[in-house]
Amino acid sequence: MNSASTIPPHRHAPALRQQFLSTEFRRSYGWLTTCMHRLVGCRDDAEDLASSAFTELAEIEAFERIRQPRALLTTIARRLTFEFWRRRDLERHYLEELARQPDYHDASPEDLCLAVEELVRIDAALRRLSVRAREAFLLSQYEGLGYAEIAARLGVSVSMVRKYVAQALDACWPAP
Amino acid sequence: MTAARPAAEREAIDWEVRLRGAAPEADELRAFAVWHAVPAHAAAWDELQRRLGRMGGHGTVASAAIAQALRSPVQERRRALRAGFALGALAFTGWGARRACHELGLDADWRSSIGERGASTLADGSPLRFDAASRIDLGGDTATPRLHLRQGQLLVRSRRPLTVVVGGIGIAIEDGQLAAGRVGQRIVVAASGGDAILHPASGIPHRLGAGQAAYADVGGIRFAPLSFAAVTAWTHGMLVADRLPLPDLLDAFARYHPGLLRAHGAAATRSISGVFRLADLDGALRQLASALPVRVERYGQFFTAIS
């Protein structure tokens, strides 16, 4: 008689999950860190990314359906790496441009941090849109151009520009 | 649109898109007022405006930096990820990218935000001042500098030949003060201490004597009954209006106040004379309402309609 069969499967899950994660961690953490190191070129960043990937792996509910943990870890780690790079790029471009403003006064680190957080949010929202929709919104929101001028620049109709701006507003305003 | 979004929010987005466009029609504004009168709609509208406020917008110091950052390309990063190796420093600033930046005005040499006037000095020591929400690029060479006024107004004093380009018109001075700006659909130019020569894109040059002012628009260049002090009143935060069309007045105030300021219907055809303090929008709106047969309606902080 198999004792496991008498216990409902969900009561089993936490222990099994723990076992799965610790096995996988022992087996793949070093491997993933090395992959990440090759990718980002910095040991500390690589370790951060690898641990974040494991944290996300640990949060997956249906862990028993994971057939290839390393493939999944790689997918998660790639996404995290992209986000990590993207944040750095956004921050760098933002600060570079800000420093060129004649009337720019050094903002506090807290303010900059909040501004970069907001940038990351807007960027992620706008990345779901087409290149043209994104550009139409940037021209409207940040350059104050009218629809007719945006339409002329992008070579689309004014009604298309309105549609683009609506799409962007929808994407940037998280639904409750 | 997101399926889960409540109807009030979807409609708030629609209204934002409509009101951002060209001057709304009277019936459109009435429809907005009716819609906005419903508390749930007003709440959705305010929530959207707050969200937009957090995102920053045209006229704030950071707006160019935000747009620049959001335009930074992601393709290289994706390629690097796919290839699975780290790319070193990426050359984002090729000639193509620089040109795109230039066309989009991201590399303006001087720029000011809404509500903030600026001042600077040219290489030869000539003082330059510019109005709030202005954008100026420097061109030409050090011997004959050329200032491209893309947006807003400027005042420059020069002892050497200098050209200001605004809306396709080149304005040359040799020695003296030159004020140039865009007010609504028109360009206003005034000279002091020396003559200025206006070179339109087509047509004959036009001499502007010291102390004179001129308007330029699609109809051509013509004399403006304004003193040099009146044209440059913005340097003191004032606006001197002499039969100024209402939309042009609102345009001047929009450089000092974020949000939408719109005149529509008969109000859009009215003109006003008087002296206004640019920082005091409420005062100016009261002044308008008492001087003209118009109605002023404010919908929260961000939208003012005059009919």
Report the C-alpha gap between B65 and B70 in whole angstroms: 9
B266 closest CA partner among B302, B240, B303, B292: B292
pLDDT for A16-58, tens place per residue?
777 777 787 888 888 888 888 877 777 888 888 888 888 888 7
Residues of CATH 3.55.50.30 domain(s) within chain B?
Answer: 235-306
pLDDT for B19-41, tens place per residue?
887 667 778 888 999 999 999 99
- Closest approach of B257 to chain A, Cα-based (Å): 13
pLDDT band of B198, cuts 50, 70, 90: very high
- Closest approach of A21 to chain B, Cα-based (Å): 25
Chain B positions touching A97 (Cβ under 8 A) are 64-65, 68-69, 106
Of A120-124, B31-35, B108-112, B224-228, the one with minimum mean pLDDT is B108-112
CB B253 within 8 A of CB B184: no
Chain B nearest-CA residue for A41: B86
- The yes/no answer to whether this complex scores an ipTM above 0.95 is no
Average pLDDT rounded to a whole number, residues B37-61: 87
pLDDT band of A160, cuts 50, 70, 90: very high
pLDDT of residue B96 exceeding 60, the answer is no
- List of residues 6+ apart from B139 with CB closer than 8 A: B145, B146, B147, B148, B165
Q: Does the predicted model carry a pTM greater than 0.95? A: no
- Closest approach of B290 to chain A, Cα-based (Å): 31
CATH code of the region B235-306: 3.55.50.30
**Higher per-residue pLDDT: B111 or B134:** B134
B143-150, Cβ contacts within 8 angstroms, sequence gap of 24 or more: B149/B180, B149/B181, B149/B182, B150/B105, B150/B108
B101 contact A CB<8A: no
| Phi, psi dihedral angles at B241 (to 5 degrees) | -105, 130
Q: Identify the architecture of domain B117-233 in CATH.
A: Sandwich (2.60)
DSSP B265: G
pLDDT band of A1, cuts 50, 70, 90: very low
CB B32 within 8 A of CB B299: yes
Rg (alpha carbons) of chain B, rounded to whole number: 22
**Contact check, Cβ <8 Å, B69/A119:** yes
Chain A positions touching B4 (Cβ under 8 A) are 175
A9 contact B CB<8A: no
pLDDT for B204-249, tens place per residue?
899 999 999 999 887 789 888 889 999 999 998 899 888 888 988 9
pLDDT of residue A138 exceeding 90, the answer is yes
